[in-house]
Each structure stands twice: as structure tokens, then as C-alpha cells.
Chain A
């Protein structure tokens, strides 16, 4: 299997607080990775580091064998971010733009498509996320789940090689969780590689090919979904119980 992303011995601190101490993993083409871990273990920081929104202290992040932290100039960072897109936890929609302009933003910025072609493409993506006809609504008119799906539509519209999902099911009701997971599965069927950061273990089991667990600033577990569900490692069992409790409290 072709490795497209490789994180090698990543170290990251915020002041005195150490977040990562030697994190290693690989993402293969077409693979979906689930990155699990307790709150504050630096899962989102790891995602942000992959697209250069955070600087790591040491180690290497290689995208197609090219070091991401070497993408320091604007042009190269821009090229990287067209190939690896980020779906934010809150959706992070531009609240001054309507749904059409939000989804079309990357197309206006990075393609030479005509306005009509962009309209067609946005309509296709809205159909894929089951939200047809909402082009003229503002983000404030949408529910939390709809905002996340529109954010995901914006992240995927340029057909990136990798999508990084930052807690896409957090704070959603079961119906919206189902919508979001179904959408991720649709994209996975199209051969999309992805990394999913989540506390939602059932969603991770449904969506991911491989599970990584961050414990004590390192990747403690790296295995298939079957290995994860059948594991009798006390730390993993404790982690899974803790996540279930956290989910229960959150609900």
C-alpha cells in the first residue's frame, strides 16, 4: 500500500506543557484512520500540524516524502492545503457569506472555472450532502449538523487527497451523527484518504480501517478496528470506558 503521509517522531509543546513526545504513524492511500484519545491529548493539534497551522518542535511530517514543515512559503503552503483539507469541528463557515459562497470559496480562489460551472459544482456537492436548495441561506440559518456538513462540503470540493475530520460528530444528535457518518462513508467509497479525530468510538468503528490511540503523549495503540474491539489491554479497555462515560456526560 502506498504511504501518502508519514509522521515521524513528532514532538510538540506549548510553553512548559508537553503535548506530543515521539508520535509516529503512517496514512496509506485510500485508508481511513481514526485518531482517538482523551480530551486535551493533542489530537486536533496533530491535525493542525499536518497542514502547517501549528509548527512542531521536532520530528518530520512527510507528505509524499516531502517534509511539510519545509512548506514555509505562501505558495507551497497553499499547494499543500489544496491536497490536504481540514474539516473544522465547528464547521468554521464564513458568517458573512451565504452557503453558496462558502462552498464556492476554494473554487473562486484556486480554479479558473466560470461562474456557471461553479454553480453546477456547488449544486452537485449539496446534493451529495443531502442539503439541496440551501445555497442562499446564511450560516446562522443552519443547524449545527448542517453547518458541519456544509463545512465538509467546502473541504472536499477541490477533491483533496486527504481530508482531516476534526470531531465531526461532536455535539450532534443521533440523526445528525448518522448524516455526518454516512457522508464520510460516501467519500470513503470514492477512495478518499482521511484521518478522523473523534471521541465517538461507534462512529470510528463504522468509518475507520485503522485506529490509533494517543495516551501519555504517544501513540499507544495502532491497529485494525478488529484488533481494537477485541483488545483486552487494560489501558485500552479503561480508555474505551472513559470515552463512554465522557459521551454519556456530554449527552
Chain B
């Protein structure tokens, strides 16, 4: 421990900081390896299809719940909030724009990070501690090609599709609340949504969720392959992946939003 008033570095904290930078550096290198393996033979197309089925289709139920809930809750709160100022007519615009740009990509990604990120870490981590990953290597194949590339691309492909579904259901939920709570005709609601949400708003959400999918897969698979220490290690890895990928998604969201605002304006 350093004494107060001295410039001595707290060594455990410095080491933890260095470890974080090391992890980030290793994940960047891991991403480069994934890209290299994606564009060179052999390809595992059927594994990609299996992963899309497991990760993408398997996450539909959770996406339906989060999409509908977001739309219903946001519309209720914005509706009664804006009603005080006579602004109920702006509810479709506010709800649809925030869903398309931010809420659908973020909430869907965070929930999917909990589901598939931890799943990837647990599955690959268990394989690592039971020497199955070594067996893949010993049999003359590359675990990044066999295990990681299909999971990476399935997350990058599935997450924008899940986000689209979540966004659509959120807007649909908003329409139901607007009609029942504020007497707004569905036709008016849909027109307002279509007038407000431009294609680039929708696209920014899709691109964001694709990037979040990549983050979830990189963090999950990298930590899975680095798992040591038996079942306890697997448990620690899954927790680490959910926390790290959630933080990474939230931080990345700010920077991507800033870039899109610079490109497409406000």
C-alpha cells in the first residue's frame, strides 16, 4: 500500500489496469484472427447455419418479450408525460425514433449478451477445461475456424434481425397503447411513424446491433478459449463475459451514435 501523499503506484491496481489493456489487446488480435480465418479455407457453412438456428432462432422468444414491453412501457410514460403539455400527438414520433435508433439495439443486445454471450463462454470454456479444444487442435483443425467463426458470424447476422423484430414489435405495442389509452387512430399512428423514422435511423440501429453482436461473440469466445480451472473457471468466465460485453456495448453505443450523428446529422 502506498502512503498518502506519495506518488508510489498501488501495485495491485496497476496490475489490474495492465491486465485490462492486455485483455483488450488480445481481443483485438483475436478479432483479426477471426477475420483471417473467415476469408480462408476451410469453411464451415453448416456450422454457421446450426449456430444461427441456436443463437438467432433460440433468442426469438426473449426478443418478442423485450420488444413488446419496451413499446408498451415507453408509450405509456411518454404519452402521460407529454399529455401534460398537450403533446400526445408527438408520442408516435418519439417512441419510434428512440426505438429504431437506441432502445431496440441496446436492450436486445444486452439481453442477447446475457443469453448467448454466457452460452458461448460456458460451452467453449467447458470444452477447453475437458481438453476438447486441445483435441480439435491435435486432430489437425483450428478451434477458431471450427468453434469461433460460425458463432461470430451467426451473432453478427442474427442480432440485426432480432433488433428489427424487437423494433417492429415495440412500435406495434406503442400503437396498441396509443389507441387504447389516448384514443389515437392506428392509421394516424402509422403515418406519424413513417414520416418520422427515416431509413438511416433504422440502418443505424441495424449497424449498431451488428457491431454489438460482434462484441458479444468476440468477448464470449475469447474468454471461453482462455478458461482454466475446471467448473469454477467456467462459472467465472460466464459472469465475466456478461459484465464485460454489457459494458463494452454501452460504451461502444456512445461512440457509434456520435459517428452516425456526424454522418447523417440530427
Contacts and interface: CB of A to CB of B under 8 A. Distances in A.
The finding on whether chains A and B are genuine partners in a shared complex, rather than unrelated, reads yes
Contacts of B140: 77-79, 81-82, 106, 109-110
B142 A92 contact: no
Contacts of A92: 130-132, 134-135
A95 B132 contact: yes
Nearest to A82: B140
B134 A88 contact: yes
B239 interface: no
Contact of A154 (B42, B127, B134, B139): B139
B137 interface: yes
Contacts, number: 51
A74 interface: yes
A181 to B, nearest CB: 22
A86 B138 CA distance: 6
Interface string A87-120: 0111011110000000001100110000000000
Interface string B120-162: 0000000100111011011111100000000000000000000
Contacts of A86: 134-135, 138
Residue of A48, A90, A109 with most chain B CB atoms under a 10 A cut-off: A109
Given A90-B130, A92-B130, A95-B132, A53 B137 contact: yes
A244 to B, nearest CB: 28
A94 to B, nearest CB: 6
A53 B142 contact: no
A81 B138 contact: yes
A14 to B, nearest CB: 13
Contacts of B127: 94-95
Interface string B213-257: 000000000000000000000000000000000000000000000
Nearest to A166: B131
A93 B130 CA distance: 9
B134 A105 contact: no
Residue of B127, B132, B134, B139 with most chain A CB atoms under a 10 A cut-off: B139
Nearest to B144: A74
B131 A106 contact: no
B138 A85 contact: yes
A90 B138 contact: no
A208 interface: no
Contact of B139 (A74, A95, A106): A106
A90 B131 contact: yes
A10 interface: no
B139 A88 contact: no
Contact of A88 (B42, B131, B141, B142): B131
Given A77-B140, A81-B140, A105-B139, 6 more contacts: A53-B134, A79-B140, A82-B140, A92-B134, A109-B42, A154-B139
25 contacts: A48-B134, A51-B138, A53-B137, A77-B137, A77-B140, A78-B140, A78-B142, A79-B140, A81-B139, A85-B139, A86-B134, A86-B135, A86-B138, A88-B131, A88-B138, A89-B131, A92-B135, A93-B132, A94-B127, A94-B132, A95-B130, A106-B140, A109-B139, A109-B141, A110-B140
